[in-house]
A = this chain, B = another copy of it.
Amino acid sequence: MECIKDFQQEHKLEMRAVRDSMDVLNGKWKIAVISSICYYNKRRFSDILHDVEGISNKMLSKELKELELNQLIKRTVLDSQPVSVQYELTEHGLSLKTIITNLTVWGIEHRKKIFAT
């Protein structure tokens, strides 16, 4: 009896953790933006704009701002002419690398499966 309760309690915590993650990673583009920065280590605004197919500059700007607020990325203004801005993952952001990698692997497998059908 106690045991069943503990199970359920544990599942609730797990579900909450998943929700916490998704709260940060939600939005149509967030994962893609993080991937771009993650795979290139450092990436400029216009580069990401190009990497993430279909995103508008408004949305990119918004997503980057949110990611910065959540301390997943670091924004650096380079004093070049004209100005360029560089984004990189923070240590906390880097801890998402495993998830990005898993999503990449899974995406490849999924594509195979779809084309096989």
Expressed in whole angstroms, the Cα–Cα distance for A106 and B113 within the complex equals 28
> How many copies of this chain are found per oligomer?
2
Inter-chain contact B103/A95, CB cutoff 8 Å: no
The answer, yes or no, to whether A66 is at the interface (CB within 8 Å) is no
Expressed in whole angstroms, the Cα–Cα distance for A34 and B60 within the complex equals 28
Main secondary structure on chain A at its contact with chain B? helix
Inter-chain contact B15/A51, CB cutoff 8 Å: yes
Q: Give chain B nearest CB distance to A39 CB in angstroms.
A: 5
Contact with B along A7-20 (1 / 0, CB 8 A): 00001011111111
With CB as the reference atom, state the residue of chain B lying closest to A17: B107
Contacts of A26 in B (CB 8 A): 28
List residues of A (85-115) whose CB comes within 8 Å of B's CBs: 92, 95-96, 98-100, 102-111, 113
Contacts of A108 in B (CB 8 A): 13, 17, 20
Contact with B along A53-86 (1 / 0, CB 8 A): 1000000000000000001000000000000000
Q: Give chain B nearest CB distance to A79 CB in angstroms.
A: 26
